[in-house]
């Protein structure tokens, strides 16, 4: 097996790969692949994903490990802000002293699941349908007639069972088994993970294929929130389908950093903006660029006035370096369609705030600013608070 180490946003590096390995990597779109200076030598670079994954031919797989440029503790802070926050960002997530994403995530899940189960396995009611020798719950009359043909026993019944086999425990068990199969999980973390299925005895394993079961945050499952939030990350995607319909198995966990940053900015900024008295809409799809409503717009965040009209728009961009003109065109389209005088482009880098005054328009301004993700969580929250205050109170000059 070939192991390739990359770093997010680094330049091209050369690696020895077979033609079959390189073709599989390129098709799976895990990294960018280009021919090297000689046969058998290939140039690789990250493709906006971080984490670890194993793919390629079964007889000679290749393992990709992409280290994020954002420190792991900062990255976990960003990951806590999902579009449907479960609340696990409010707790301390112990990722240990690790510099790579997958070992840190596995360690954090093992510790949080262990803490959740240390108070006992969560029980709940689950509806069951089966044939029993005695009546329990309600008789399924239609099924009894169709399947038993007049025989009194067994009885087709439906009843609520108080059991550990509930969605929350199924998700924890599924995430545990997946992490145990993934490459790069340290032996110490594997020992912690192997203890979890013993505590979840009686919980049914999920069937591959169907989506994982849904669960609803509540006071009863509050101690599970951290572990379930991390389990959701672990269970996202295990294969990719190529253009010709062939499925390539990808064992591992790769996160799209642009999506992580977008989710963090939108949720954190929405929370900071609400005290200012404006309505906030995330991923707002009410707007169109054309009057025929054929070109739908989907800005990351729209701030409304008290009567529901758009006040300003914010778009997140996980990019560094020179501002691409396409970003400015995209935000200008939002301003044109919603009749706005000001919009914000927020990048994930260290840069000075700059206001673009659009030529030929009636005072349209696009403010380009950024967040410094290398700072502490407290400093990052202070940046968000300051940005929210400026957005809510700043008017075009």
Residue 205 sits in the same domain as residue 348: no
CA dihedral of 331, 381, 222, 283, whole degrees rounded to 10:
0
Mark which of 139, 163, 187 sits at the end of a domain: 163
Last residue of a domain, one of 163, 194, 214: 163
CATH number at residue 360: 3.40.1350.10
Domain count, the chain: 4
Looking at the fold, whether 118 and 26 belong to one and the same domain comes out as no
User: Quick one: 318 and 373 in the same domain?
Assistant: yes
What pLDDT sits at residue 395? 56
Distance, in Å, from the CA atom of 290 to the CA atom of 287, rounded to the nearest integer, reads 9
Find out whether the peptide bond into 154 is cis, omega within 30 degrees of 0.
yes
**Could you tell me which residues come within 8 angstroms of residue 300 by beta carbon, excluding any fewer than 6 positions away?**
262, 265, 266, 282, 283, 314, 315, 316
196, 330: one domain: no
Residue 38's domain is classified under what CATH number? 2.60.40
User: For the chain, what's the residue count?
Assistant: 397
Residues 184 and 230 in one domain: yes
- Same-domain check for residues 370 and 276: yes
| Contact (Cβ atoms closer than 8 angstroms) between residue 80 and residue 88 | yes
Low-confidence spans in the chain with pLDDT less than 50 = 85-92, 238-244, 246-247, 397
Regarding whether 228 and 80 lie in a shared domain, the answer is: yes
Residue 280, domain member (yes or no): yes
Give the integer Cα–Cα distance in Å for 177 and 195: 11
Q: Is 30 in contact with 250 (CB distance < 8 Å)? A: yes
Please give the torsion angle defined by the CA atoms of residues 211, 216, 220 and 221, in that order, rounded to the nearest 10 degrees.
Answer: 40
User: Is 52 part of a structural domain of the chain?
Assistant: yes
Which residue, 150, 171, 265, is CA-closest to 214? 171
Residue 249 lies in a domain: no
The token duo for 390 is 């400026």
Q: Containing domain of residue 85, as a range?
A: 70-123+164-236
Q: In this structure, are 179 and 313 located in the same domain?
A: no
Report how far residue 302's alpha carbon sits from residue 283's, in angstroms, rounded to the nearest whole number.
Answer: 8
**Is 241 inside any structural domain?**
no
Report the alpha-carbon distance of residue 166 to residue 125 in Å, rounded. Answer: 8
Determine the distance from the C-alpha atom of residue 148 to the mean position of all C-alpha atoms in its chain, rounded to a whole number. 48
| Domain identity same for 75 and 223 | yes
Paired with 356 in beta bridges are 366
Q: Please provide the DSSP assignment of 261-313 as one string.
A: HHHHHHHHHHHHHGGGT-EEEES--S-BSSTTS-SB---SEEEE-TTS-EEEE
Spatial strand order of the sheet with 13-16 comes to 13-16, 41-46, 31-35
Q: CB under 8 Å to 327, separation ≥6 — which residues?
A: 315, 317, 319, 345
Both 188 and 224 in one domain: the answer is: yes
What Rg do the C-alpha atoms of the chain give, in angstroms?
A: 25
Residue 23 CA to residue 33 CA, distance in Å, equals: 8
Look at residue 346 in the predicted model and tell me its pLDDT.
Answer: 93
**CA–CA dist 121, 165 (Å, integer):** 10
At 14 the pLDDT is 93
Contact 261/80 with Cβ under 8 angstroms?
A: no
Asked if residues 144 and 157 have their Cβ atoms less than 8 Å apart, the reply is: no
Angle subtended by helix axes 225-234 and 101-117, to nearest 10:
140
Query: What tokens does 366 get?
Result: 């696009």
Q: How many CB atoms lie within 10 A of CB 5?
A: 14
Nearest residue to 9 (alpha-carbon basis) of 372, 321, 350, 236: 321
Question: Which residue is it, tokens 């340290």?
Answer: 186
Residue-level pLDDT at 243: 47
The answer to whether residue 253 sits within a structural domain is no
- 174 falls within a domain: yes
Asked if residue 88 and residue 228 are part of one domain, the reply reads yes
3-state per-residue secondary structure call for 337-376: HHCCCEEEEEECCCCCCEEEECCCCCCCEEEEEECCCCCC
Q: Are residues 78 and 209 in the same domain?
A: yes
- In this structure, is residue 31 part of a structural domain? yes
Query: 314-371, pLDDT tens digit by residue?
Result: 999 987 667 788 999 999 999 999 989 999 999 987 667 888 898 877 788 999 999 9
Residue 245 domain-assigned?
no
């Amino acid at each position: 097996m070939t192991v390739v180490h990359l770093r997010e946003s680094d330049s091209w590096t050369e690696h020895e790969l077979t033609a079959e390995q390189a073709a599989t990597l390129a098709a799976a779109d895990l990294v960018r692949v280009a021919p090297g200076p000689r046969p058998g030598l290939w140039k690789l670079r990250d493709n906006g994903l971080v984490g670890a994954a194993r793919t390629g031919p079964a007889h000679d797989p290749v393992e990709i490990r992409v280290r994020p440029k954002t420190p792991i503790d900062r990255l976990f802070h960003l990951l806590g802000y999902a579009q449907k926050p479960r609340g696990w960002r409010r707790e301390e997530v112990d990722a240990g002293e690790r510099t790579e994403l997958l070992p840190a995530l596995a360690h954090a899940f093992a510790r949080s699941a262990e803490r959740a189960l240390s108070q006992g396995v969560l029980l709940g009611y689950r509806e069951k349908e089966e044939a029993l020798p005695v009546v329990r719950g309600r008789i399924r009359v239609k099924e009894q007639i169709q399947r038993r043909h007049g025989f009194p026993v067994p009885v087709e019944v439906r009843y609520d069972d108080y059991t550990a086999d509930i969605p929350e425990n199924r998700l924890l068990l599924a995430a545990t088994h997946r992490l145990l199969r993934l490459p790069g999980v340290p032996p110490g973390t594997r020992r912690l993970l192997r203890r979890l299925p013993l505590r979840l005895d009686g919980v049914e394993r999920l069937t591959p294929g169907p989506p994982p079961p849904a669960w609803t945050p509540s006071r009863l499952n509050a101690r599970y929130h951290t572990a379930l939030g991390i389990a959701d990350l672990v269970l996202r995607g295990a294969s990719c389908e190529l253009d010709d319909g062939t499925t390539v198995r990808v064992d591992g966990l790769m996160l799209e950093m642009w999506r992580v940053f977008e989710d963090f900015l939108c949720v954190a900024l929405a929370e900071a903006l609400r005290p200012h008295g404006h309505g906030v809409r995330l991923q707002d799809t009410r707007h169109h660029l054309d009057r025929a409503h054929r070109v739908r717009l989907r800005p990351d965040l729209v701030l409304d006035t008290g009567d529901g009209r758009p006040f300003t728009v914010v778009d997140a961009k996980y990019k560094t370096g020179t501002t691409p003109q396409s970003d400015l065109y995209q935000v200008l389209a939002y301003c044109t369609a919603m009749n706005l005088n000001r919009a914000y482009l927020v990048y994930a880098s260290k840069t000075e705030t700059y206001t673009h005054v659009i030529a030929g328009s009636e005072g349209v301004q696009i403010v380009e600013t950024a967040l410094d993700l290398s700072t502490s969580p407290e400093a990052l929250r202070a940046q968000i608070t300051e940005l929210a205050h400026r957005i809510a109170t700043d008017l075009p000059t």
